[in-house]
Structure 1
Amino acid sequence: MTMDQAHIREVLTGVFARQDLEEVCKRRDVGGVIRILNKYGITQGQIAGLTGIAQGRISEYKTGKRFATAKSTFESIADGLGMPAHLRRSLGLAPGGSDDARRVGDGLQIPTDTFDLQLLAEAIGKRGEALKRRELLRMVAQLGATTTLAQSEAWEKISFALTKPSALDEAIVREMEARSAGFHRLEEMLPANAIFKGLAAHLREVGTILNGTTSDPKDDLRRRLMVVASESSVLAGWIASDLGSPPTARNFYDTAEKAAREANDLGIIACAYGYRSYIPSSKANHGRARALLASALDLLPKSASPGTTSWLAARHAEESAALGDKENAYRSWAEAQEAFEIADPDEDRVWTRFLDQDRFDAFRIATFSQIGQLSEAEEVARAVISRLPEVDRKRAGIILGDIAMAHIAHGSANEAARAAREGLAVVRETESVIWLPRFEILAKALERWRVQQPVRLFLEDIIMTKRQFSASRQ
């Protein structure tokens, strides 16, 4: 007897609650999904009709003649079947479906139009304070109603500045400063590729306006706009790293340094070195990473913001710990702690406003777990994860990776694999390619325990995740 659509949806709802379906989704085994659906009466033809995938291809997936690797295939399965957020995450997808907006977390849709993103970033930057999830939802909801008018007004101002460089005024510079600050805020909450186009368009506008002016040490408006260019380029470099393109990241960091030198802002150059240190660190080249951080700390003027000093010193401690240099790790951590105690994220430079107590504790976890204070590191880690908001999933992935490293140091392979697997799921969900090498290092360390089920499942997940990211870049 043929099922009607209502009955199909009822069956799917029941199947979606099953643990075995979640397990095959975590393995990104489309064939396994199809076999479970068939078991409960959903035919291959019905699956094809719901997902838009040819029935012959559905059959190949079921029998194992073909394996799904493309992100578009997983999206077709999840969107067509109407999978809930937890199964979408298991497949390595964003919690919501694909449409004209990017869904991030339950109910949060971020526009993908470049102007809308610029407008949202500018509005966030003008607030001048941290943004909570509820407030971001409200701002996104209001965006559609104001876009047309705001786009007209903004384009008139920018167009005037482009055609008449002498028209560069305080209002234009303030808007660009707010937009740059807003993009730094958005980076903390959204996957990299959700905001990169908007940031790139912002940089093009800033660059074009700067090209219409001449270098003049007495021109404060140009100097401030040059700071905007360098701060935005630093962020673009970080996002390029997050998207898995170190060469592009290095180009942006070089641009940021050149602009910062004209603006005579050594703090931004130090920031660029700090962000740049993550590239060798992800390849376990901790010596090179620490050298970059040492250069960054040397560059900082005495008047540097405490937040920047605290961040760079904490990173230096982290890399020193990775090198087994306990003396320098303790010394740098003491410097980081002293600066953090007087830092105020809301009053700091845009690139260190992320450094709240949770993020600072994440550095503590990474540092102390590597210098032998594992009990303290794990205690702090549990406390941080328990208070993380839903939108801050990137940070949870990093912390879980650090916990896994600590468990390996303890010799607890199964506990390490469980933490690593949970962290890897977050990496897939947030599409944070930059952290994948950390989990690959974990996989190598756990390889000798592969006969144990938790370890084997993690090793399968790492292979699947690498395929996902490889397919998404094609």
Structure 2
Amino acid sequence: MAVDQQTFQDTLDRVFARQDTLEACKSRDLGAILRILGRHGVTQGQVASRTGIAQGRLSEYKTGKRVPEKTSVFESFANGLNMPAPARRAMGLAPRQEADPTPQNGGSDLQTPLDAFDILQLATEAGRRGGEVRRREMLELAATIGAGMAFGRNDMWERLAYAITKPAAVDEPLVREMELRSEGFHQLDLVMPSRSLFKAILAHLNELTTLLNGMADDPHNELRKRLIISAGESSVLAGWWASDFGNMAAARTLYETAERAAKEASDPAINACLLAYKSYIPSMRGAHGRSRALLTEALRVLPASVSPTTEAWLAARHAEESAALGDRKQALESWGRAEDAFSVADPAEDRSWTCFFDQARFDSCRISTYANIPGRLDKAEEIASDMIASVGDFEQKRVAIVLGDIAAAHLRHGHINEASRIAKDGLAAVRESEFAMWLPKFEEVAKGVNQWRTKDPVRSFLEDLAVTKRQFGASAR
């Protein structure tokens, strides 16, 4: 159950006013602070989601296995928990600015209203930062933009405006900015609903198109090729978002644009990504054979060793669909390929779309695969429990995916009450993340348990499903 944010902040304020906590702050002993917080009901997961410090790293601080030294770590900790001024001073940190842009809701929701231009700036900055962009960082960046500060990057917009009217002005810095923006949209996909981003990515694609239309069709022009690749990567993501909220006509058009870009830039990895995104639609409808066929084609067109993370993603999805089809042998074979590729993968340094495929997402595919292999449901649940405990509150898309798979597995095993309880928890994650694409998974569970609707867990789940569907306006595709 969600904790009231004011109550949570009151707890933090009381803890940081304690003498033992202030002494721990003076010695910069995060381990001691975490132990004190824990005794007052503040979990490492809550700290992780608000500070952006991985829960595993917090555990190492708590046990003394690792001792933080960088000031940036203490800043993130203090800012994330909104530490009061006395505790900050004790830790040797400057007082936080009065004009603190961070919303006072603990970072659980992105409330700052942003228009398309704001999000274009946000995407550019997210791409520039690279790596995994934490939700709290996005809240602060969004609020900064909302205050009209624009990161001091006005020169980029001036160069873009000039290049759109004077194509010869397209240069390396401008192309790199457009690439960073494309990468940034993939980062934002992890922390913001697709509906909030769709208009902005269309504006980005329009600017890329205008630049490309003004340039000569020269296959030897490397800058032009890079812009085409950015357009392809952005079109794939925009198509994915369009399908998420049910605009299949727009999704098809955007996917076709991505295919043309992949062909013109001789970049088949874009096509492999496109096919992987497409595979989710038939999977949600129970057409696992069609989904696996798309993934088989994706693995075929992906050049060897071009993108280890993409190969790991495709093979893991292939294992999921094979397991759903009851093909145990192929599922384990594909999973072995996924593990081999993931062992050498670096999602943050791979293609723009691979930033999402970290250890937690890899584990969610393993959960789905094992849940459909006889005798491995217990192992799937064990992995799921560990994974959900390790992710932050902002990673509700992952939670929805995992709980939907586990609920479906319990239904196949005839565990009606357990399937309903887990599915209800999954629906809460769907609503939190606005991840409508995953609703059909829960609708299938609902069909399976409907005949037992007089049971309390089933009735509660079905009522929750009706509420969730009303939130999204209609049944998901």
Are the equivalent residues in 1 in contact too, given 2:404–2:426 (CA < 8 A)?
Answer: yes
Shift of 1:110: 4.2
Are the structure 2 counterparts of residues 104 and 367 from structure 1 closer, same or farther at C-alpha, using a change threshold of 3 Å? farther
> Counterparts in 2 of 1:139-218, with a 5 A limit?
139-145=141-147, 147=149, 150=152, 152-218=154-220
More divergent stretch after superposition (455-464 vs 433-442):
455-464
> Counterparts in 2 of 1:247-286, with a 5 A limit?
247-286=249-288
> Counterparts in 2 of 1:279-298, with a 5 A limit?
279-298=281-300
The answer to whether residue 448 in structure 2 is matched with residue 445 in structure 1 is: yes
Code of the aligned partner of 2:275: Y
TM-score of the two chains, using structure 1 as the length reference: 0.75
Code of the aligned partner of 2:452: W
What is residue 385 of structure 1 aligned with on the other side?
388
Q: Residue deviations 1:201-226, cap 9 Å, x none?
A: 11111111111112211000000000
> Counterparts in 2 of 1:330-409, with a 5 A limit?
330-372=332-374, 373-409=376-412
What is residue 304 of structure 1 aligned with on the other side?
306
Q: For 2:219, what is the secondary structure of its paired residue?
A: coil
Are the equivalent residues in 2 in contact too, given 1:180–1:228 (CA < 8 A)?
Answer: yes
What is residue 239 of structure 1 aligned with on the other side?
241
Code of the aligned partner of 2:166: K
Q: For 1:215, what is the secondary structure of its paired residue?
A: coil
User: How many residues align structurally?
Assistant: 374
Code of the aligned partner of 2:466: I
Q: Distance in 2 between matches of 1:148 and 1:430?
A: 27
Code of the aligned partner of 1:369: A
Determine which of 448, 457, 460 is the counterpart of 1:457.
460
More divergent stretch after superposition (140-149 vs 397-406):
140-149
Q: Distance in 1 between matches of 2:474 and 2:318?
A: 34
Are the equivalent residues in 1 in contact too, given 2:145–2:151 (CA < 8 A)?
Answer: no
Are the equivalent residues in 1 in contact too, given 2:107–2:136 (CA < 8 A)?
Answer: no
What is residue 41 of structure 1 aligned with on the other side?
none
Quote the RMSD (CA, aligned, Å).
Answer: 2.2
Q: Residue deviations 1:166-219, cap 9 Å, x none?
A: 111111111100001011000011111111111111111111111111221100
What is residue 318 of structure 1 aligned with on the other side?
320
What is residue 423 of structure 2 aligned with on the other side?
420
Q: Distance in 2 between matches of 1:104 and 1:242?
A: 27
Q: For 1:208, what is the secondary structure of its paired residue?
A: helix
Are the equivalent residues in 2 in contact too, given 1:359–1:395 (CA < 8 A)?
Answer: yes
Q: For 1:277, what is the secondary structure of its paired residue?
A: helix
More divergent stretch after superposition (402-411 vs 335-344):
402-411
What is residue 87 of structure 1 aligned with on the other side?
none
Shift of 1:128: 2.0
Are the equivalent residues in 2 in contact too, given 1:111–1:117 (CA < 8 A)?
Answer: no
Are the equivalent residues in 1 in contact too, given 2:117–2:200 (CA < 8 A)?
Answer: yes
Q: Distance in 1 between matches of 2:139 and 2:263?
A: 38
Q: Distance in 2 between matches of 1:296 and 1:214?
A: 31
Structure 1: runs of 5 or more not aligned: 1-12, 15-100
Q: Distance in 2 between matches of 1:110 and 1:317?
A: 40
Q: Distance in 1 between matches of 2:173 and 2:344?
A: 32
TM-score of the two chains, using structure 2 as the length reference: 0.75
Are the equivalent residues in 2 in contact too, given 1:104–1:110 (CA < 8 A)?
Answer: no
Code of the aligned partner of 2:431: R
Q: For 2:274, what is the secondary structure of its paired residue?
A: helix
More divergent stretch after superposition (150-159 vs 304-313):
150-159
Q: Residue deviations 1:327-350, cap 9 Å, x none?
A: 111111000011011111121111
Shift of 1:425: 1.9
Q: Residue deviations 1:378-413, cap 9 Å, x none?
A: 000000111111111111111111111122133211
Are the equivalent residues in 2 in contact too, given 1:189–1:391 (CA < 8 A)?
Answer: yes
What is residue 61 of structure 1 aligned with on the other side?
none
Shift of 1:125: 0.2
Q: Distance in 1 between matches of 2:187 and 2:177?
A: 15
Q: Distance in 1 between matches of 2:152 and 2:241?
A: 27
Q: For 1:360, what is the secondary structure of its paired residue?
A: helix
Shift of 1:232: 0.2
Greater relative contact order (CA < 8 Å, ≥ 6 in sequence): 1
Q: Distance in 1 between matches of 2:353 and 2:296?
A: 18
Are the equivalent residues in 2 in contact too, given 1:421–1:458 (CA < 8 A)?
Answer: yes
Q: Distance in 1 between matches of 2:394 and 2:471?
A: 22
Q: Residue deviations 1:260-280, cap 9 Å, x none?
A: 110110101100000011111
Are the equivalent residues in 1 in contact too, given 2:229–2:265 (CA < 8 A)?
Answer: yes
Q: Distance in 2 between matches of 1:305 and 1:459?
A: 42
Code of the aligned partner of 1:175: E
Q: Residue deviations 1:22-78, cap 9 Å, x none?
A: xxxxxxxxxxxxxxxxxxxxxxxxxxxxxxxxxxxxxxxxxxxxxxxxxxxxxxxxx
Are the structure 2 counterparts of residues 161 and 361 from structure 1 closer, same or farther at C-alpha, using a change threshold of 3 Å? same
What is residue 434 of structure 1 aligned with on the other side?
437
Are the equivalent residues in 1 in contact too, given 2:272–2:301 (CA < 8 A)?
Answer: yes
More divergent stretch after superposition (417-426 vs 222-231):
417-426
Q: For 1:188, what is the secondary structure of its paired residue?
A: coil
Are the structure 2 counterparts of residues 358 and 301 from structure 1 closer, same or farther at C-alpha, using a change threshold of 3 Å? same
Code of the aligned partner of 2:300: D
Q: Residue deviations 1:411-438, cap 9 Å, x none?
A: 2111110110111122122221111111
Q: Distance in 1 between matches of 2:457 and 2:301?
A: 45
